[in-house]
Amino acid sequence: MSGISETVLKNVLDDLQQRFSDNIISIFGIGSYFDDSLPSDWIKIDLDIIVIVKSLEAIPKPDWTHIRYEKKEIDSYEVWLGFNTLEAYQNKSMFEAQSFSNYEWSLLELKRPENSKLLYGQDIRDQLPDIAKIRFDYDNILARSLYHLDRSFKEAMVTKDIDASMQQFTKGVFQFGFYLCIYFDKNYRLTSIRAITNSIEHLTKQNTIEKEILDYIKDAIFYRRTHRFPSKFTTMRNSFILRIFSLIGKGQLHRRMNFNELIQYLESQFGGLSYMIQFAGRVKDRYYELKSED
């Protein structure tokens, strides 16, 4: 980490300890900012921190939700602070009431030292549930990939922030890569981008998944290192989404869905993934248009 980023991290940790010192059990860093396996030129702009507290009562929350979290920008870093209790990580239902995140992903991040970094307080990993026989919610994890793709459309069309749109797209690609890893390899337990890429490469060599998926991941990695894509972004994004829809339609993922079932699925996730629903509707119309011409 650079000197500037170390200063930002120190300020964030000092602030947390000052405000919640008696309530904090542990503070963990997750995500690419804390991933030492990434290349030195990796562009790190997100600082994601999990704070394990004794009680959520004293933790402030936005008016519109009961989830305890904070989001702020410090020296060009997007800082996200998530607050949870240890009991929530030991109980999926309680966790889902306290967090926006997927339970299985979050448990893996804290349980495995390769996936996170202890920044302050107690190492509570041995108090977390065993992940050897974890049961993944594939519907939810797939939906989180589609959520980021939906956000990519929204950033481009509503806020007109193309960089943010590209960033969301890469998050969707990496999340989909993770989904493939845990679906096709029942022993997979890592969350880092390098580990996901290595696993996708292995699955590609086994002919378990198509090589094109690996190409999309490599393009996303290229963006995270250079802030540009090797090909036209909108064309690549549309092609990636079509690839996912094709896999779903052919039943090559955890469950098969026709167009109507896919749209219903998109409508049921995160209050409705409106841009993905529109995209799926256009694909559906085009599919039946071509079919009628045969």
Give me the tens of pLDDT residue by residue for the chain, a chain 294 residues long. 445 578 999 999 999 999 999 999 999 999 999 999 999 999 999 999 999 999 999 898 888 888 999 999 998 899 999 999 999 999 999 999 999 999 999 999 999 999 999 999 999 999 999 999 899 999 999 999 999 999 999 999 999 999 999 999 999 999 999 999 999 999 999 999 999 999 999 999 999 999 999 999 999 999 999 999 999 999 999 999 999 999 999 999 999 999 999 999 999 999 999 999 999 999 999 888 877 776
- For residue 70, which phi and psi values (nearest 5 degrees)? -135, 145
Q: Which CATH class is domain 3-127?
A: alpha beta
Taking a C-beta distance cutoff of 8 angstroms, is the pair 47, 79 a contact? Answer: yes
pLDDT in tens, 81-125: 999 999 999 999 999 999 999 999 999 999 999 999 999 999 999
Alpha carbon dihedral 143, 180, 84, 129, in 10-degree steps, equals 130
Order across the sheet with 116-121: list the strands: 69-74, 77-85, 46-53, 24-30, 116-121
Residue 142 buriedness (CB in 10 A; 0-12 / 13-18 / 19+) = buried
CA 197 to chain centre: 14
- Domain ranges for the chain, please list them: 3-127, 138-293
The full length of the chain comes to: 294
What local confidence, expressed as pLDDT, does residue 1 receive? 45
